[in-house]
Chains A and B, each alone.
Chain A
Amino acid sequence: MHIFIKKRDFEYFVKSYEVKVIFAKIMKGVSVKSDKFTLTVRYECFVNGTFFGFEQNFDFKHDFQNPEQTIFYSCFNLDEQLELTAYSANPNGGKDIKIQIHEELTNKIVKTILEEFQIEGIPICFAFAT
């Protein structure tokens, strides 16, 4: 079970329940325009068998040929680095087109997401949802 609250309430909750770890997950990516996409990130903590969290959108710039039908996936490679990949629907039918997100942009995404939410002494783990 997941309970979503506002960011300011989540911060209060994390402190009052002495939460030790927060998970940051990229839930979905949507390319809004041909040069821009939005990632929805969920920050969660696990307390007594229930996930408590809030969601936030982040905008990044990138060129897409088929922006309206692009899906994002994230995973960790063997070097413990986050890899972000996008698949765009093929306008001619057939297999989806793979779009590799550059390492530089991936690093920027990770940095932005981890720096957005800071509570003293609580580590934030980058996680991905399956």
Chain B
Amino acid sequence: MHIFIKKEDFEYFLRRKKVDTVFVYSVFRIMNSNKNFTLAVFYECLVEGKFFTFGQEFAFDYDFSSENLKNIEIKSVFIEERLLLYIENKMTNKQIRDYFPNELSSKVESTILNFIQIDGVRVCFSIKRKG
């Protein structure tokens, strides 16, 4: 069960309910043009079996000029405690080329993690999968 609220209400809720951990994950990755992409990010906390959530979009620069934008999507993975981003072919589910440069992956992670700051609450970058 997911309940969507505004950011200010989410922060108020974290303090009132004394939540320890916030999970952050990106859902939609939109390639706006050959030069940049937008990540739609959800911030969630788990309280009494329910996820309380708000959403936020972030834009980043990346050169997609050599890709066919229709058939690719941006995926993320953790390797040795680091977030890495890569492009996957939607039709074959196979990774295309190497991971994004470390600087870009680090920038994505820090931008998203730093967006919400509440004393004593751990903000974890997360990846969701079914099954």
Contacts and interface: CB of A to CB of B under 8 A. Distances in A.
Interface of A: 1-9, 12-13, 16-17, 47-50, 54-55
Interface of B: 20-21, 23, 25, 46, 48-49, 78, 81, 122, 124-131
Contact of B127 (A3, A8, A12, A47): A3
Contact of B129 (A4, A7, A49): A4
B81 A2 contact: no
A5 B23 contact: yes
A1 B122 contact: no
Given A3-B128, A5-B23, A12 B78 contact: no
Nearest to B79: A57
A9 B124 contact: yes
Given A3-B23, A6-B81, A9-B122, A48 B128 contact: no
Contacts of B78: 4-6, 54-55
**Centre residue among A5, A13, A49, A50 by max chain B CB count within 10 A:** A5
A2 B130 CA distance: 6
A77 to B, nearest CB: 26
B124 A13 contact: yes
A103 to B, nearest CB: 30
B21 A49 contact: no
Nearest to A55: B78
